[in-house]
Chains A and B, each alone.
Chain A
């Protein structure tokens, strides 16, 4: 069936309803025959960005591979909330081994499939930011360097949420976590060099690196679909707000993710073989403050006294990203 004629209504968003689109352009989630790889009934929190991201990623990967997919999962929220014994939400072949070894386990699965002449079956590994940028980084770098045929997806919620919101290598500066408390002269996480994993992945020269957020799910699906047309090591870094850890409202997950990109704090781009090939430009620039204000983890920047020094430093990070990736479509009118 063909889609209805598309009308762009002025509703204050850029979204176009799925029903209005040609079926080929619709979200995978609009397909009644979607894989539903992470099915309902799991125990994620309300408004969990990771659950949303994982469902879109896996269904898109299942569609791209015709269901010929195996999934490896690192320890973390995603593993815990999806498999409370004796139940499982996974409708894909799914293996959880350890916290820090998902890239290697996935590479082993890909090797075994090749050894059996079944490499039409593809392998996807997924982990949170702790399992990716910290404890799993050695294995991940090994997987990148060998160019193993694995799509590795990091659901980045910027801290160790499963263990109670402790700081990870992906926690942004000034954010309050259980181990970077909002006390003292420099409350919250320190300003360090950060650990820019998409850039680290690109430095390995792997075929594909992309970032995405749950605010733009069609973009996320498209990147997964594109990644599955390629072979070798591929890396997808998805920003997934965590209402519990970020102190944001459950109903604001999408809004927070969108503000992260529209403020320039989280650049959304694609890269192939180490070079940026595409950037999702900021459509309506938001202020950094607008993004931070929605999150309890930054409350200490506004009360009891406003910390303009810290806000300026965070703003400088956004400006740096905007400049580095050319995030503004029309810089002169920004």
Chain B
């Protein structure tokens, strides 16, 4: 059914259609609306025997999900930002144990400085945790990715993170089409665990493994994640039969004949596509490549999509301090020899405007784009703080100084 609905509500509806059995949750903005909606569904009995548990922390929430999943329960939770970091140890554990937990990450910046707005630094910080990471461009895709995530997770016995931009998507009201329950039931069979705590067949899960087998166990996790690249397109085909919409590991847009292609993840793809449409109308040969599956990274699909490009710009919503791009490293590995620029944009909720993207792309196609660019960086603010730090030892807290400067005061 198609309706105007908030992104968080739509995701909650999609998760509910997947018949979760245990939903532990801990509140953190901007993920709260999702679990609020699910708690209501559970309270009204709409989800049958599903257990909603108010956890004492995100660490607790993911631990509850681990216990539930290992006991044969379909488990779901949602978090963001600091919450994802607080889960870090449990994320590696869930992945290492091969538990098919599905989690929404309402992408949000990480402090300090504390910031509740959208970027990708939370999810990127956990890219090596062993979780599959799928990024949604819009709320329809977020809904469809959640349906896919449960099937993928359970088939391959690994956890899946569906990343959707905090506020930009979670709090946006858009037209979203939700499939009916019978369709979802046909797509997603009841959870059949590979390993389960069952008195009828006792097993030890989480035993200690030494050097004699640790490499093999870890390598098998790698193999299992790589299988996503095979299975995701196939399962997406099955899902398309239900929804009429096709997902894939990447989504190329006007890449044919594109001299320059911008690679990006998440909601910024919408603005990028509009900008590319305008530039194409002006005769500038640019295209866009959306990366839906970031972990595992679809090297082949990316290489194929970028085959005709002479220049690649990776637009990143996070960066690794002291290096620059995070996604860029994988894109470079997929297309060695192709010029690859990193543009860090939209940190901590700064709007990524079409005007800025146009300017950046104009620079790119005229070979004026630096290897690493921080889009819309206020250079004078930065210089002022650097000068202050050089002039005096006790120059004070950086964040407060910068805010003070922006207010126009002197310190």
Contacts and interface: CB of A to CB of B under 8 A. Distances in A.
A84 B208 contact: yes
Given A115-B73, A117-B49, A101 B199 contact: no
For chain A, which range describes its interface: under 10, 10 to 19, 20 to 34, or 35 or more residues? 35 or more
B207 interface: yes
A164 interface: no
Nearest to B202: A93
A114 B49 CA distance: 7
B93 A90 contact: no
A70 interface: yes
Interface in B46-62: 49-51, 53-57, 59-61
A88 B207 contact: yes
7 contacts: A83-B207, A97-B63, A104-B67, A112-B21, A116-B71, A139-B57, A142-B60
Interface in A60-87: 67-70, 72-73, 79-80, 83-86
Interface of A: 67-70, 72-73, 79-80, 83-86, 88, 90-98, 100-101, 104-117, 121, 138-139, 141-142, 145-146, 148
A88 B72 CA distance: 22
Contacts of A117: 49
A109 B99 CA distance: 13
Given A85-B212, A109-B70, A115-B73, A91 B202 contact: yes
B22 interface: yes
Contact of B59 (A101, A107, A114, A141): A101
B322 interface: no
Contact of B209 (A85, A91, A92, A105): A85
B158 interface: no
Interface of B: 21-22, 24, 49-51, 53-57, 59-61, 63-73, 75, 89-90, 93, 97, 196-199, 201-210, 212-213
B164 to A, nearest CB: 24
A135 to B, nearest CB: 10
Interface of A is mostly: mixed
Nearest to B67: A108
Contact of A94 (B49, B57, B90, B202): B202
B197 A70 contact: yes
A116 B59 contact: no
B50 A105 contact: no
B59 to A, nearest CB: 7
B208 A101 contact: no
Contact of B66 (A108, A138, A148): A108
B202 A104 contact: no
A96 B205 CA distance: 6
Nearest to B205: A95
A97 B65 CA distance: 11
A41 B96 CA distance: 27
Contacts of A107: 53, 64, 67
Contacts of B61: 104
Given A108-B24, A111-B53, A101 B60 contact: yes
B208 A85 contact: yes
B343 to A, nearest CB: 38
A327 to B, nearest CB: 34
Given A93-B198, A117-B49, 19 more contacts: A85-B212, A93-B203, A94-B204, A97-B90, A97-B97, A100-B59, A104-B56, A104-B63, A105-B66, A105-B70, A108-B66, A109-B70, A109-B71, A111-B22, A112-B51, A114-B49, A114-B51, A115-B68, A116-B21
A98 B60 CA distance: 11
Given A93-B202, A115-B51, A116-B72, A138 B197 contact: no
Best-buried of B53, B61, B67, B89 by chain A (most CB within 10 Å)? B67
Nearest to B207: A83
Nearest to A107: B64
Best-buried of A86, A90, A111 by chain B (most CB within 10 Å)? A111
A90 B202 contact: yes
A104 B64 contact: yes
A109 B197 contact: yes
A73 B208 CA distance: 12
A175 B67 CA distance: 36
A146 B53 contact: yes
A105 B204 contact: no
Given A86-B213, A117-B49, A92 B202 contact: yes
Best-buried of A109, A112, A139, A145 by chain B (most CB within 10 Å)? A112
A111 B205 contact: no
Nearest to A96: B206
B193 to A, nearest CB: 10
A139 B60 contact: yes
A70 B199 contact: yes
Nearest to A72: B67
A70 B71 CA distance: 9
Contacts of B53: 107-108, 111, 146, 148
A112 B56 contact: no
Given A94-B202, A106-B67, A146-B54, A111 B60 contact: no
B115 to A, nearest CB: 25
Nearest to A91: B202
A108 B51 CA distance: 9
A135 B201 CA distance: 31
B208 A83 contact: yes
